[in-house]
Amino acid sequence: MQNRLKYLLLGLFLLAGAGEIWRRLAMLARPEIQPAGLVAFAGLFVLCTISLTGFALVRNGWLRWPLALLLAAGSLLVDGYQWAVGDFMDYESFVTMVESAGDIGSAVAQQGGVLALATGRAALLLFAVGLQPAAGGGLWASGARWAALPVMLGLSVLLFFRGGEGSSGLPSSHSGASLALLYAYDTATTDRSPRRAVTLQPEGREAGGDIVLIIDESIAGAYLDINSAHGVYSGLGTDGAAGDVPVHNFGLATAINHCSVGSNVTLRFGGTRDNYRETVRSGPSIWAYARRAGLGTVYLDAQRTGGRYQNRMDDAERAQIDVWEQFADVPVVNRDHAVADRLAAYLKDGEPQLILVNKVGGHFPVSDKFPLSHAKYQPMLKRGLMPDVSDMAGRDGMDGRAANWRLYRNSYRNTLLWSVGGFFDRLFAQAGPAMGPDGATLLYTSDHGQSFHERGGGGEATHCTPAPQIEEGVVPLVVIGGVADGEPRARWAEAAAAGRDRRSHYRIFPTLLGLMGYAPDAVEPLYGPDLFSAAPDPFTFNTRFNARLGSEPVWLHVPLDKIARPPLSDYRAPATGSTK
């Protein structure tokens, strides 16, 4: 009776994963896939099932229950991700999830239903393995017990040699636990020697104003009016509030990565496409370079609260930041405007500083990231679902249908109108003179772009997908204010004209160092060319940022003429013909 209950629970657990199994079989049944792939998957699935049964038949309760907890935790992590994102989890996704652990509260708030289902399946597994098995069982039970751990370790070894890929469709208990074992090995073998100190010597700054890097969140470059004829008002065009502040638009640029963590950490530590892994791991931060140049360091984080870190920040990096502000007492919808107020105050305080900003921006959920006064684009998503969530996995009730993507794109436009156009209007109104010819230099971009299924097709993901659309890596790139060689407008204007739609995130870090007074000739060998350089850019973004276990980064080139433009058919054009 005991084993019958355990087998029933195991069967229900496996049956609950039928969707992933079917999707994997459908992938392997494509004509271009060799039949051996289907046979290999079937064999692995059978071995994992035997292994799972063997763990459930372990007689020692002190060993069996910890194993049950480990397997259930792996199942919860994998199922929660796959059911929320609608795609399989690989090692790249696993690392991203672990590094985003600080977002667990937001994840629960938005994906409560999905996580409840994943928790239910994990509970089936927990009791299927954890309950006491009946005595005996014969040769089958003994063989299954002996095979349990070797199969798990063998799957981990297989994934190691496949760069973390190959567990799609297998029981989530084993894929989750194997990915966790890989991560433990990866972490244990990572070089943890202290970061290198700054060795470059600044030669004197070109101007005494602040240097600001504004990293927006999830801004699709083609959806702004500065990059598309029918884009959303950004406050950065000729009809904005900039006034006499020079605005130099570099157009569409490619991001470092199509996920937040990879782009943000590389923007803070620098690196080229060839050396970013080593530089991010052991190089000095942008804060360290700023301090060597005699600048104060300020971090304005609108995304997190309670002192939580994100994007691989740690205590050592935090120690290099003089002022770190979060905005827990400000509603999410107003945080970007609160950032504009604080940034304006720093720009006017007369103290030379490096200021880095992480905005709330346009990350899903977007239905409540703008006030009704900015609901210009209709029809849009239902509001009031998640007003207190800044980001993380949420789909605003999306089900992947084309009609709902139309609603999503309109809500996204309204979000941009508020969080980009409204942000810059507010900033220029308060601190315009501080960004004049002799004032601050601001670089504006986003961590990654977005894909809103403009070409059709199903699915619910917008970015950070295993097989990304090119739009996920396309972001805006703008320089505001700025002095360069005593010619504040001419040199930046020439650089923007030459580099429009031809530059990438990799140009930002060396540009910041140049603004601090570090010589370009000394910077370029370490961090690549800056925005003034005429050197060509590959115009690619990294789709495998966490290239570990012997795997290499994968670069996706973005053809400009293939970038999807915002569909006009989404909304009714305002009567005035203006999107402002």
Q: Pick the last residue of a domain from 125, 153, 188.
A: 188
Region 124-137 average pLDDT:
88
Q: Give the C-alpha separation, 335 to 466, whole Å.
A: 31
Q: Quick one: 238 and 286 in the same domain?
A: yes
> Which of 563, 537, 528 shows the shortest CA–CA distance to 455?
563
Q: Quick one: 217 and 83 in the same domain?
A: no
Residue range 301-328, pLDDT digits in tens? 999 989 989 898 999 999 999 999 999 9
**Is pLDDT at 63 greater than 90 in this prediction?**
yes
- Dump the DSSP string for 540-567: EEES--S--TT----EEE--GGGSPPPP
SS (H, E, C) 49-80: HHHHHHHHCCCCHHHHHHHHHHHHHHHHHHHH
503 three-class SS? strand
**Is pLDDT at 99 greater than 90 in this prediction?**
no
Confidence at residue 550, expressed as pLDDT on a 0 to 100 scale: 75
Q: Quick one: 18 and 145 in the same domain?
A: yes
Q: Quick one: 137 and 180 in the same domain?
A: yes
> Which of 250, 186, 177 shows the shortest CA–CA distance to 499?
250
Of 388-397, 447-456, 464-473, which gets the smallest average pLDDT? 388-397
Q: Give the C-alpha separation, 461 to 160, whole Å.
A: 27
Please give the structure tokens belonging to residue 390: 């800044």
Q: Quick one: 223 and 180 in the same domain?
A: no
**Domain contains 330:** yes
Q: Quick one: 170 and 237 in the same domain?
A: no
**Domain contains 128:** yes
Q: Give the C-alpha separation, 430 to 59, whole Å.
A: 70
Kindly report the average pLDDT of the chain as a whole number.
87
**Domain contains 577:** no
**Domain contains 273:** yes
* Cα–Cα distance list, 229 to 34, 182, 473, 502, 567 (Å): 46, 48, 20, 19, 11
Q: Which domain holds residue 132?
A: 2-188
Cα angle 341, 343, 345; round to 5: 70
Q: Quick one: 334 and 260 in the same domain?
A: yes
Please give the structure tokens belonging to residue 480: 């505001």
Cβ-proximal residues to 427 (8 Å cutoff; 6+ apart), any chain: 340, 343, 344
Q: Quick one: 229 and 326 in the same domain?
A: yes
Confidence at residue 194, expressed as pLDDT on a 0 to 100 scale: 84
The residues that bridge with 300 in the sheet, in sequence order, are 325, 357
**Domain contains 435:** yes
**Domain contains 198:** no
Q: Pick the last residue of a domain from 134, 154, 188.
A: 188
Q: Pick the last residue of a domain from 188, 223, 256.
A: 188
**Domain contains 201:** no
Q: Quick one: 442 and 304 in the same domain?
A: yes
**Is pLDDT at 191 greater than 90 in this prediction?**
no
Q: Quick one: 367 and 421 in the same domain?
A: yes
Output the CA torsion sign for 376, 378, 384, 385. Answer: negative
Q: For residue 279, what is the domain's CATH number?
A: 3.40.720.10
379 cis-preceded (ω within 30 degrees of 0): yes
**Is pLDDT at 110 greater than 70 in this prediction?**
no
Confidence at residue 517, expressed as pLDDT on a 0 to 100 scale: 93
Q: 274, exposed or middle or buried, with CB in 10 Å at 0-12, 13-18, 19+?
A: exposed
The residue with greater pLDDT, 453 or 346, is 346
Q: 312, exposed or middle or buried, with CB in 10 Å at 0-12, 13-18, 19+?
A: middle
Confidence at residue 392, expressed as pLDDT on a 0 to 100 scale: 40
Q: What is the pTM of this model?
A: 0.84
Task: Give the end-to-end CA distance of the chain in Å, rounded to a whole number.
Answer: 70
Of 187-196, 224-233, 434-443, the range with the highest mean pLDDT is 224-233
Of 106-120, 207-221, 311-325, 334-348, which gets the smallest average pLDDT? 106-120
Region 20-35 average pLDDT:
81
Region 523-532 average pLDDT:
97
Read off the pLDDT band of 333 (50, 70, 90).
Answer: very high
- The tally of domains found in the chain comes to 2
Looking at residue 371, its amino acid is P
* Cα–Cα distance list, 282 to 251, 266, 278, 499 (Å): 32, 12, 6, 30
Region 512-519 average pLDDT:
95
Cβ-proximal residues to 228 (8 Å cutoff; 6+ apart), any chain: 222, 565, 566
Cβ-proximal residues to 283 (8 Å cutoff; 6+ apart), any chain: 195, 196, 269, 270, 271, 526
Angle in degrees, 0-180, between the axes of helices 172-188 and 35-56, rounded to the nearest 10: 90
Q: Quick one: 547 and 478 in the same domain?
A: yes
Helix (H) or strand (E) holding 178: helix 172-188
Looking at residue 94, its amino acid is F
Q: Give the C-alpha separation, 164 to 434, whole Å.
A: 49
SS3 content of the chain, % helix, strand, coil (to 5): 45, 10, 45
Read off the pLDDT band of 344 (50, 70, 90).
Answer: very high
Q: Quick one: 163 and 279 in the same domain?
A: no
> Which of 506, 496, 546, 477 shows the shortest CA–CA distance to 267?
506
Read off the pLDDT band of 396 (50, 70, 90).
Answer: very low
Cβ distance 177 to 154 under 8 Å? no
Region 258-266 average pLDDT:
94
**Domain contains 197:** no
Read off the pLDDT band of 425 (50, 70, 90).
Answer: very high
Read off the pLDDT band of 398 (50, 70, 90).
Answer: low
Helix (H) or strand (E) holding 247: strand 247-254
Percent of the chain with pLDDT over 70: 88
147 three-class SS? helix
